[in-house]
Amino acid sequence: MHAAAVCFDLHVPASQSLKTKRAAIRPIIDGLRSRFHVSVAEVDYQDQWQRAAIGVAVVGSSNTQVREALASVERFIAMAPDIELLDTETAWLDPEQ
């Protein structure tokens, strides 16, 4: 088993309220769940208007499969309208432990 979790740090420059921020973030979260079948949640900056952090977890049968899924997820997020991808941080589950 191979698994990784990624935190995507996002900027929502046009947002002027929490409501507009969530309106920009919700389609990304719902799209990731339905398109890639991954676990995803907003994990930080819940009370800031123009910042968001989305956490995504992926499990697969091979390291290559997980890496390809994460690359697809990152492309999906980077292509989202009204969102700037600032940073990503990946943590891998070590199957040897």
- Indicate which CATH number applies to the domain containing 87: 3.30.70.1120
Beta-bridge partner residues of 44: 53
Q: Chain-centre distance of CA 22, in angstroms?
A: 14
**pLDDT of the chain, 97 residues: tens digit per residue:** 899 999 999 999 989 999 999 999 999 999 999 999 999 999 999 899 999 999 999 999 898 999 999 999 999 999 998 899 999 999 998 765 4
Structure tokens at 50: 């123009």
* Domain assignment of residue 72, given as a range: 2-93
Predicted local distance difference test score (pLDDT) of residue 94 = 72
Please give the tally of structural domains in the chain. 1
Predicted local distance difference test score (pLDDT) of residue 93 = 86
Q: Chain-centre distance of CA 56, in angstroms?
A: 5
Q: Chain-centre distance of CA 44, in angstroms?
A: 11
Predicted local distance difference test score (pLDDT) of residue 68 = 95
